[in-house]
Structure 1
Amino acid sequence: MADQFSFDVVSEVNMQELKNALDQATKEIKQRFDFKDSKTEITLKEKEKELVVVSDDEYKLKAVIEIIKAKCVKRGVSLKAFTYGAVEPALSGTVRQVAKIQSGLASEKAKDITKAVKDSKLKVQAQIQGEQVRVLSKSKDELQGAIALLKGKDFGVDLQFTNYR
């Protein structure tokens, strides 16, 4: 039997589910009367982990983003995964907004998570490994307690727990 059990705390977006949500949003926008003849466009840049939304004016842009949020919630994509930038003017009188997609834990968030685990008085060790945090313990019950503790706190990012063994 193993003497150490562990799990990883990560923050990732299921890109396939995000694509499906964006496809559904695009379909709805094409069908809606208030978007008829508008220059509305949703672009997902996977390599840069960005979502670019272009529309005629700020009102329509906000409506498009609300549609995207609704579709993401239905597909199980966390809204905490997006960091929206400022609305900026684009070509031919349109406006654009870029949303960064969360990938991995930022070092400050990872430090906050390890600090929360260490302050909890559970018999676990937490260590930062790149863009994830590994939590180790000799007891699976202690690991379950650490997961419950992390789920109960809001770190401003969507957390997933992987490699539980």
Structure 2
Amino acid sequence: MPSFDIVSEIDMHEVTNAVDQAKRELGNRWDFKNVEADIEQDDKGITLSAEQDFQLEQLQDILRMTFAKRNIDSRSLTENGDSKAGKLVKQHFTLRQGIETDMAKKIVKMIKDAKLKVQASIQGDKVRVTGKKRDDLQTAIALLRESELELPLQYNNFRD
């Protein structure tokens, strides 16, 4: 029986490259000369720090642009809020990987409501879709691509 998996994954190597590229661009920007501003990556996510709120917004734009250049979906960044530390304003983003249970349930319900001849099941942090015909699976992929979910999805492990 043909099947495929719906996952939400990020290539961490590309994220590291995007952060490095954003740091280089930050060093070249004339409006950030003599300004304490930085982009840091750790295991939990990415932290932006700047002296002013508008500079923080510019750092976000730089980061999102470099993500777009590296074909990383910026919807995978989840904002954790601002914090002030001395004279710096910091903002932390976590990188979302995997599909949470409530989002997986929403995806399964969306497929079932479309009355397609496929079965969707939640398996950990991914959703497996099986069906008798390959065309039905491709219809399910098209349905999910058209839907406006706030999570970037990839479709892999396609088997006949």
With normalisation by structure 1, the TM-score equals 0.93
Tell me how far apart the structure 2 counterparts of residues 73 and 53 of structure 1 sit (CA, whole Å): 18
Structure 1, unpaired ranges of 5+: none
Q: 1:15 aligns with which of 12, 15, 39?
A: 12
> Deviating runs (4+, > 3 A) in structure 1?
none
**CA-CA distance at 1:145 after TM superposition:** 0.6
Deviation of 1:77 (Å): 0.6
SS at match of 1:164: strand
Please name the residue that 1:81 is paired with.
Answer: 76
- CA–CA separation in structure 1 for the residues paired with 2:98 and 2:15: 16
Match of 1:71 in 2: 66
Match for residue 26 of structure 1?
23
Question: Gaps spanning 5+ residues in structure 2: where?
Answer: none
C-alpha distance in structure 2 between counterparts of 1:126 and 1:68, whole Å: 35
Instruction: State the distance in 2 between where 1:40 and 1:64 align.
Output: 8
Q: Equivalent pairs: percent with the same residue?
A: 37
1:132 to 2:129 alignment: no
Task: Name the counterpart of 1:112.
Answer: 106
The C-alpha deviation readout for 1:15-43, integer Å capped at 9, x for no partner, is 11111111111001101111112221111
Paired residue secondary structure (1:72): helix
Q: Paired residue for 1:147, among 141, 145, 153?
A: 141
Instruction: Give the letter for the 2:121 counterpart.
Output: Q
Find the aligned partners of 1:33 and 1:148 in 2 and give their Cα distance: 44
The separation in 2 between residues aligned to 1:9 and 1:128, in whole angstroms, is 10
Provide the rounded CA distance (Å) in 2 between the counterparts of 1:45 and 1:9: 27
Equivalent residue in structure 1 for 2:53, among 50, 58, 61: 58
Instruction: Show CA shifts across 1:107-160 (max 9, x none).
Output: 111000000111111110000001100001111111011101111101210000
Question: Which amino acid in structure 1 is aligned with residue 10 of structure 2?
Answer: V
Q: Distance in 2 between matches of 1:163 and 1:24?
A: 31
User: Deviation at 1:106?
Assistant: 0.9
Work out the CA distance in 2 between the residues paired with 1:154 and 1:10. 16
Q: How far 1:85 moved relative to its partner? A: 2.1
Secondary structure, aligned partner of 1:85: strand
CA RMSD of aligned residues (A): 1.0
* TM, length-normalised to structure 2: 0.96
Q: Which has the higher strand share?
A: 2
